[in-house]
Amino acid sequence: MTKNSRPAAADQTDAQTPAPTTSEQAGDPPAENAAGAGEDLVHGRALIDLPSHNLKCGEFGALPYETARDLWASGCFDPNAVEA
């Protein structure tokens, strides 16, 4: 063994393998799979009129995951809203 060499076990650290995170831990809206749709949908409330998704401001609906994520990030959709 040379002066700069280390045992093989010392090269394997937890830092090399990040812990898995869920989409919610990563800051993404929660996704639900619609029965038979084959696509993740996110239920929430439109914060502005979303005519391309047939939602008016304040209405609840379901959007595809990626669309909901983008609209949530821009402040146009709230996946955490619940109907009273």
- Say what the pLDDT of residue 46 is: 98
Position 68 pLDDT exceeds 50: yes
Residue 54 lies in a domain: yes
Average pLDDT, rounded, for the chain: 75
Which of the four pLDDT bands, split at 50, 70 and 90, describes residue 81? very high
The residue-averaged pLDDT of 38-47 equals 90
Residue 65 lies in a domain: yes
Number of domains in the chain: 1
Does the model's pTM come out above 0.75?
Answer: no
- CB 76 within 8 Å of CB 65: no
- Say what the pLDDT of residue 51 is: 96
Residue 84 lies in a domain: yes
Residue 15 lies in a domain: no
The residue-averaged pLDDT of 52-78 equals 97
- The full 3-state SS of 29-42, as one line of letters, equals CCCEECCCCCCEEE
The token pair that represents 55 in the structure block: 């939602």
Position 59 pLDDT exceeds 80: yes
Helical segments of 1-84, H only: 8-11, 65-73
Amino acid (1-letter code) at residue 72 = W
